[in-house]
Chains A and B, each alone.
Chain A
Amino acid sequence: MRESHTGTSSGEGWKLPGMMVRRVEREVYEIFIGPQHPGSGHMRIIVRLDGDVIVEADPDIGYVHRTMEKLSEVREWLKPIPLLERMTIIDACNITVPYVNALEKLMDKSPPPRASYLRVLLCEINRVASHLYGFGIFGVFLGHSTMYMWAFGDREVFVELAEVLTGARLTHTYPIPGGVRRDMPQDFPEMARRAVRYMRRRLEEYRKIFLDNPVIVRRLEGVGVIPRNLAAELGIVGPNVRASGIKYDVRLVEPYEVYDELDFEVPVFEEGDALARTWVRVEEIKQSLNIIEQAVDWLERHKGEPVIPKEDFDKLPKLHKEVYEKTGRVKLLPAHASMKIPAGKAIARGEMGRGEIVYYVESDGGTTPYRVRVVTPSARNAVIFKYIVPGHRLMDLPAIYGSIDYFPPESDR
């Protein structure tokens, strides 16, 4: 192994660096699991190793920063909805519903029950799709390519459901202040029920080939344990914290939309290791399937109600009402392009697939927001790298990374 001089030296000519060896500490060396690495996602993790044991891990985030909060300040009120949903495009409805809730608080409007049920329906479809995406990436980090392909293949079923409901596979842009943009098609309930029954059967097969696979269980059991008090102290959110024994879910503590009318469970495990985090997500998928069934049943029983508030619907011109009767599409009024929202401040929270998301929206009475502040769950989960990873072996890093379901574009906004 040759140590080389880095940078300039006295008149020796230009020498390329070989293996960049920098004395960090006695017997500790440093590798960059950098952005151009099959196992890092859109971020860099600077790892210091003593042999095979990680001594320090430093997440180097910010590669996908897209200045969404600043861009929201120069766009009129409806335009940030497609912008903000691209933070976590796989979970599009969950991430825009709290923003729309904040606007509704400022405008003092509330959506009719049918619109709330439709929002919850799409939110739960997105939650299932997002968890399946997390399983896929987790599988491929552990080398299990079958889990990857199966999870993404089954996610197609739910993406297809979302396409039938909203017209787009991933970029739904579904909620608007006051309601939703489209009503449910006639054949949707039957399709949704078939998809739910199919997914329940597939979860059994996932268990046989991945969750109970002895190799995978050995890799996950006891790895990345987050003790309960440390979880509360670090402030992590989502299924990670529910796997460490803390009973926290925004749908439980502050129910929004119609979550207080639905009957579902919030699974909580106590072990806190990677296997518990995976099982939390599996149980959450099962509960989401229950919610989808209940929502579809309610929507089928209460047909004929509008999806925007009645007073807005009555003021629509004749052409707009005709289009809604024929195709179920809600047409916006041209005034929406420059609508003004009364001055005020509002905070709204939601539970995304990866955890709790908080929006702070401030309006000064104009056509654009004064300030939109968003705290995403992955931004809060990034500290796990720094505090939990040291002490494990190098091959545990992909296992921990996949089990906390960290999504860099969401974290960097």
Chain B
Amino acid sequence: MPARVALKSVRRRGGLFEGIASNIQALAVAVKYFVDPQRATLLYPREYIEHRPGYRGFIVFIKEKCISCAACARICPSAAMKMVRVTEPDPKHPDRPRQKQYPVINYQRCIFCGYCVDICPTEALYHVPFQDVVYESLADMFLTLEAFQVEPKRPAVAEGSPVVYEVDEERGLVKRRR
């Protein structure tokens, strides 16, 4: 069944009594919320949101699973991933070091689209479910290979308590402590 057109018209303004009634109605709604605001404000950093596991947050690298295919660097829309070449000892030939390439990330450019995580054929990249990470200088946002393998720390965890938001039919978005 395709869409139908519905012709409607705006209700025209009434007279004096309807004007007084609409004024009183507007004031009544305002007083109702003045008495019971139904707030859902997040008092960050005393509280922080614990997102679901599917949330596309910061990206972490697992070096053992990487096969150096460079698909992540090729698919990144904002050129935030780059492959670097490292020389490392080869576990199968201990006296002959090998050259491999691994990805590093520049968080000044990352848009958290998740293409790299989805394209990696060995699941060597994964998202952590938060994005409120703090860096103290711009240079720190160019992660080295070692830093890329470590899960970033979330400063709010130290001083706050986690909350979760739920959709409620009466009150809209409701905050619940975990």
Are A and B direct contacts in the complex by CB distance below 8 Å?
A: yes
Q: With an 8 A cutoff between CB atoms, is A343 at the interface?
A: no
Contact in complex: A214, B22 (CB < 8 Å): yes
Among A52-60, A62-70, A229-237, A260-268, the stretch that binds chain B is A260-268
Nearest-neighbor residue (CB-CB) of A199 within chain B: B172
Asked, given contacts A163-B55, A168-B112, A336-B75, whether A263 binds B1 with beta carbons under 8 Å apart, the answer is yes
Contact in complex: B170, A271 (CB < 8 Å): no
Question: Which of A251, A275, A338 contacts B74 (CB under 8 A)?
Answer: A338
Q: With an 8 A cutoff between CB atoms, is A332 at the interface?
A: yes
Asked, given contacts A194-B169, A338-B74, whether A213 binds B115 with beta carbons under 8 Å apart, the answer is no
Give residues 42-73 of B contacting A (CB, 8 Å).
Answer: 51-52, 54-56, 69, 71
CB distance from B16 to the nearest CB of A (A): 10
Contact in complex: B26, A208 (CB < 8 Å): yes
A167 to B119, CA, bound (A): 16
How many B residues are at the interface, by size bracket? 35 or more
Contact in complex: A82, B8 (CB < 8 Å): no
Among A150-158, A356-364, A383-391, the stretch that binds chain B is A150-158
- List residues of chain B with CB within 8 A of the CB of A283: 6, 8
- List residues of chain B with CB within 8 A of the CB of A279: 8, 10
User: Mind listing 16 A-B residue pairs with CB under 8 Å?
Assistant: A157-B173, A171-B112, A173-B115, A195-B167, A209-B30, A212-B25, A214-B19, A214-B22, A259-B2, A262-B3, A269-B8, A329-B54, A331-B119, A336-B119, A337-B71, A338-B74
Q: Which residues of A contact B (CB under 8 A)?
A: 75-76, 78-83, 146, 153-154, 156-157, 160-161, 163-164, 167-168, 171, 173, 181-182, 185, 191, 194-195, 197-198, 202, 205, 208-209, 212-214, 217-218, 221, 247, 249, 251-252, 255, 259-271, 275-276, 279, 283, 317, 319-320, 323, 327, 329-334, 336-338
Q: Which residues of B contact A (CB under 8 A)?
A: 1-10, 13, 19, 22-23, 25-26, 28-30, 40, 51-52, 54-56, 69, 71, 74-75, 77-78, 111-115, 118-123, 127, 165, 167-173
